[in-house]
Structure 1
Amino acid sequence: MNTVLIIGQLAGGIGLFLLAMKFITDGLKLAGGDALRTLLGQWTKTPAQGIATGCLLTAVVQSSSAVTVATIGFVNAGLLTLFQAVGVIYGSNIGTTMTAWLVAILGFNIKVELFALPMIGIGIPMWFLSPTSRKGAAGQVFAGFGLFFIGIDTLKNAFQTVAQSVNFAIVTEYGIVGVILLVGIGFLLTVLTQSSSAAIAMTLTAASGGVLGLPSAAAMVIGSNLGTTSTAFFASLGATPNAKRVAAAHIVFNAVTGIVALAILPLLIWFILETGRVLKLDETPTVVLALFHTTFNILGVVLLWPFTQRLVAWLRHQYRTTEEDDTRPRYLDDTVMATPALAMNALIMEIDRIGVLARQTAVAILTHGSDYGRRLQSRKETLMQLVETVGDFINKTQKLSLDAQDAAVLSQTLRATHYFAEATDLVIGVAGLRTTAQRLQDHSVIQDLTDYMRTATNWLAKIELRSTKSNIDFIQQGYESLEQDYQTIKDRLLRSGATAQIGLRELDHLLDLLSRLSRALERQLKGVKILVLLLEERNLTVAKKEGRPKHQEQKDKKMKIDDNEKTRLV
């Protein structure tokens, strides 16, 4: 068989495998986005649970990158601590070895013509007919596994042909230099394909076809494992500080594990072979290499776990100046876009951060008045830059494959963002209210204005994002009380103007300032209620998919704001 045909077979096999992994990963993320979110949120409370969850999710989703991105999203949103996230990263590296076991156990023992082609024939129509539904996602996964087996079969045939015509023994004759060269090849394959699964599948099929000896293939597996750090590195470029910290943890784990595995490579291979004999495992190269891949990743967890607290402390110390820069987004970057459910959560958290900054600005203005004036322009520029960043993120997210619910979330989040921006514009014009009020002759009116500003300050300071009925009631009742106070003060000022106690020009100025403040408070109310409503709706959606008791769903539904109220809000 000529060289061009062999290269074509290898390239085709790799391409099919990469397409298969994309189908499987994308389909599982769409089908189980909420389940992924629930597992990460609820099953990482202890270090052992974090490792187990990371391992399980990566084994199911077949992508450590997808789990890492999801973990970054949860750390960004404050749902996971950095310590918990590191545990998930440890587990995901163990879970990613499932690909090697799939290749070893199924890849060479399945008749492609009996299973793979029918899986594609069933899965692709399901996906085409309903690309954004769970049924379509299941079809995508089904087709992905069919492509997976065809890709493995194509690679196996290509490497068997290579083994008959090419002698690779010379690569292993250079001792440590040869080992480093093989590690570099494994690393390069992962960097080029951006998939350690593809690189490891190629290595296992090459070893099965007799192209690579066991030590050579083991060195390439180590290189492939190290190559996953490139994905984490590229993902962290321009990302949030939390994303960089999680990516750094991933890089540290793989680097330490790879170095240790290389240092004791002969001992590890001996241990694997002996373990295989004790467990009565098939001593084919693919099974031995799959066991090797799993063993040295577990060894990495054992070695690094005692130092995890120190690693987390060091990571927290990194990138501090960037995190403290208010003009940069804290929750949004391209990594969270990989999973729409997490992108929605990160978006809500970033917009809430804009709302918090807007409320802090309002509190400072109401407390310090004109003395805060010199800092207003800087604060406004910060908020406007964040608003622009959120707008860019929403535009990018709209280009993803979103279901109707997520598309509606984008529209509502954009509206909430504009409400907070308008609230800031309005409240900046109120900086002179305190000074203007102090010039009044009527001390009772001065006291009423002072009490009104104090009450508004307390209301703004106590607002926080929680999806509970009591929180919605507190926000709504606080605003209604403030609105009553505003109308009372407005009436008193108008009466004072009618009796010439206040000049008309001064009266108009005071009424304008009070109107601005009232509208700023209204915009805050609308923005916060939209975010609270979105959180509540998303939680209710998760509850339904997880099969919560019917009476609990009915109880939760009573807590929802009805459609008429939602329309009135926006």
Structure 2
Amino acid sequence: MTGTEAFTVTGMILGGLGLFLLAVSMMTDGLRQAAGESLRKILSEWTRTPLRGVFSGLMMTAIVQSSSAVTVASIGFVNAGLIGMRKALGIIYGANIGTTMTGWLVALVGFKVNIQAFALPMIGIGMLLRLTGRDTRRAAIGLALVGFGLFFVGVDVLKTAFEGVVESLNLASFGAEGVRGIVIFLFLGIAMTVLTQSSSAAIALVITAASTGVVGLHAAAAMVIGANVGTTSTAVLSAIGATSNAKRVAFAQVLFNVGTAIVALLILPLIFYMVDHIGTALEMEASPGVRLALFHTVFNVLGVLLVFPLNDRLARFLETRFVTYEEVESNPRYLDKTIAVTPVLAVNALVMELKSIGEKVAAVAGKAMNPAQADIPRIGVEVGVIQRLSGSVTRFVVRLERGSLGEGVTRQLASLMRVDQYLVTCANLSLSIAKKRKALGNLHSEVLDYNLDAFCKLVEDLMGVHLFEQDFETLEGFDEQFYHVQEVHDQLKAELLMAGTASRLQINEMMSAIDLLARIQQLSQQWFKAIKTLQRLHAESDTEAGSGDDDENAGSEGENPGEESGALA
């Protein structure tokens, strides 16, 4: 092959590959836009069981012609909390089966008809729909049609390019000899998919090359297996910076694809034995393209059949990976479903859990009001932890045995739920305060800056973690401390209004400072309500417990009337 011929063939291969990538992108975008909410509905609602997830993943990948697109979409939905990690596993399995449709399109259609007879009209009709549809679904369908047309044009270009390679090169040099040759072509398939970021394009390229005799059947099979492994790179890239569950889904695809690849390589002759018998039974032709497409389907289906019975074990294994600070801290310390059936223990556990949440709220509020510690992303994470703990408290209360709850316990639970809401409000206010304090910066007045810092310090002292280390009955000076905070708030607000009126502060700066001040005051009020409610619960429980002791000392038989409420003592 001369230099000019080599340049021409290389250009055709690059051009055909470029058409593949462009076509896959256009098909994916067009069909996704045409589907609209349908894609979201399939992924979020049709995955109630792992088996249904497999079918939904298969269907969407067969339609979109990109397992990477469906996998990335699944990771996105898991990241957004729309579907759970366990449900997404089924989609991953199904996507691997669905991606085999690309091979069948190339093997059964790509070499059987005159490409230009239908591909070019598809492109023309698609562009007409695209240009006349503007932002409608018709335009999206047109984009998908153009993508399908370009896909087969790419097949035709690559076929022509490889036919030129066959005429000029010694094909024996491309044969896979033994284990070493298989491994070489395996990594070649991985590299092709990682570089193109499309297993569909890589597999179409391999089937085209095998059909024109550039590579042998076993070598092409190794490349197809490699393409399956290489497609995991897209999921891995999409999981960077994502939630733990999204990372687990990406890791699941890596484990599944790599595991399937290892099994396929170990039983490669057996799979081809199955392929030959299936092809004969279905009266398929024994062309390299059809055999490779069938091989791709068989080894992916085998992979799903092998891993599906182990799905629960895999899910449990994944749940122990990528564990973050939020997940560890979001686990309740004192709430356990085993004590939900015993009201006395349950109320005690709730009190202890709310005190633990209160300590976290006090800590995050202190950071929010201190500009030097106001790391907003970190505060956001800690507020998220508090919100999840609050959700655990709510779910725990819902699980309590209603039939065994007395009137006193029911009243206590209602008060504890109020405390929980006060604390969550404090946490949300803390994040808002941190953002507003950072946006405000320093005021153009050293006196006002000093007074604002002093006010924040007063509120921080009011919310001291040491509160939970004291006996709530003997909590001294708390009410006076709170009322002093309210007085300082009113004084500082008056100073800010005066500074704005006298033009010592810009009006927008004054309004921002007053807004910040109002949120800090609201924070102190919510905190005061939470502490006073807990204090009242302690007082009520002690009163009822004392009454029960008197009854018992008086010779009463049977139940202690203060037993249930005495849980808080």
With normalisation by structure 2, the TM-score equals: 0.62
CA distance in 2, matches of 1:266, 1:369: 62
Please tell me whether Structure 1 or Structure 2 has the larger radius of gyration of its CA atoms. Answer: 2
In structure 2, relative to structure 1, the CA distance for the partners of 1:168 and 1:420 (3 Å cut) is: farther
Q: 2:175 aligns with which of 169, 172, 175?
A: 172
Structure 1, gaps ≥5 residues long:
327-360, 389-417, 437-448, 454-492, 494-501, 525-570
Deviation at 1:53, TM superposition (A): 0.6
1:238 maps to 2:238: no
1:47 maps to 2:74: no
Which residue number corresponds to residue 210 of structure 1? 213
Amino acid at match of 1:114: A
In structure 2, relative to structure 1, the CA distance for the partners of 1:244 and 1:505 (3 Å cut) is: closer
1:249 maps to 2:252: yes
Please give the per-residue CA displacement for 1:59-82, whole angstroms capped at 9, x wherever unaligned: 111111111122112222333221
Q: 1:84 aligns with which of 84, 87, 108?
A: 87
**RMSD of aligned alpha carbons:** 3.9
Which residue number corresponds to residue 104 of structure 1? 107
CA distance in 2, matches of 1:180, 1:251: 18
Amino acid at match of 1:186: G
> What SS is found at the alignment partner of 1:320?
coil
Q: 2:153 aligns with which of 150, 153, 165?
A: 150
- Of residues 211-220 and 44-53 in structure 1, the stretch that sits farther from structure 2 once superposed is 211-220
Which residue number corresponds to residue 518 of structure 2? 516
Q: 1:479-558 maps to which residues of 2 (within 5 A)?
A: 508-509=490-491, 516-517=518-519
Give yes or no for contact 2:176–2:218 (8 Å, CA) kept in 1.
no
> What SS is found at the alignment partner of 1:432?
helix
Which residue number corresponds to residue 406 of structure 1? none
Give yes or no for contact 1:208–1:284 (8 Å, CA) kept in 2.
yes
Give yes or no for contact 1:430–1:517 (8 Å, CA) kept in 2.
no
Deviation at 1:167, TM superposition (A): 2.0
Which residue number corresponds to residue 12 of structure 2? 9
- Of residues 68-77 and 8-17 in structure 1, the stretch that sits farther from structure 2 once superposed is 68-77
> What SS is found at the alignment partner of 1:79?
coil
Q: 1:217-366 maps to which residues of 2 (within 5 A)?
A: 217-321=220-324, 323-324=326-327
> What SS is found at the alignment partner of 2:374?
helix
Deviation at 1:503, TM superposition (A): 13
Please give the per-residue CA displacement for 1:363-421, whole angstroms capped at 9, x wherever unaligned: 988x9998976444589835456889xxxxxxxxxxxxxxxxxxxxxxxxxxxxx9996
Give yes or no for contact 1:369–1:431 (8 Å, CA) kept in 2.
no
Structure with the larger RCO, 1 or 2 (CA within 8 Å, 6+ apart): 1
Which residue number corresponds to residue 113 of structure 1? 116
CA distance in 1, matches of 2:307, 2:370: 44
CA distance in 2, matches of 1:232, 1:188: 16
Please give the per-residue CA displacement for 1:151-171, whole angstroms capped at 9, x wherever unaligned: 001111111221222122234
Give yes or no for contact 1:187–1:227 (8 Å, CA) kept in 2.
yes
> What SS is found at the alignment partner of 2:39?
helix
Give yes or no for contact 2:489–2:521 (8 Å, CA) kept in 1.
no
Give yes or no for contact 2:175–2:215 (8 Å, CA) kept in 1.
no
Please give the per-residue CA displacement for 1:241-278, whole angstroms capped at 9, x wherever unaligned: 22211110000001000011011111111110111001
Give yes or no for contact 1:370–1:431 (8 Å, CA) kept in 2.
no
Percent identical: 44
CA distance in 2, matches of 1:285, 1:378: 70
Deviation at 1:322, TM superposition (A): 5.5
CA distance in 1, matches of 2:149, 2:14: 18
Give yes or no for contact 1:17–1:148 (8 Å, CA) kept in 2.
yes
Q: 2:59 aligns with which of 56, 60, 63?
A: 56
Give yes or no for contact 2:54–2:94 (8 Å, CA) kept in 1.
yes
> What SS is found at the alignment partner of 2:78?
helix
Give yes or no for contact 2:107–2:290 (8 Å, CA) kept in 1.
yes
- Of residues 240-249 and 91-100 in structure 1, the stretch that sits farther from structure 2 once superposed is 240-249
In structure 2, relative to structure 1, the CA distance for the partners of 1:370 and 1:293 (3 Å cut) is: closer
Please give the per-residue CA displacement for 1:24-70, whole angstroms capped at 9, x wherever unaligned: 01111222231111111111001110111111111111111111122
Please give the per-residue CA displacement for 1:136-189, whole angstroms capped at 9, x wherever unaligned: 211110111110111001111111221222122234363111111111111111
Deviation at 1:18, TM superposition (A): 0.9
CA distance in 2, matches of 1:69, 1:161: 37
Please give the per-residue CA displacement for 1:450-505, whole angstroms capped at 9, x wherever unaligned: 9xx9xxxxxxxxxxxxxxxxxxxxxxxxxxxxxxxxxxxxxxx9xxxxxxxx9996
CA distance in 1, matches of 2:186, 2:203: 12
CA distance in 2, matches of 1:114, 1:90: 36
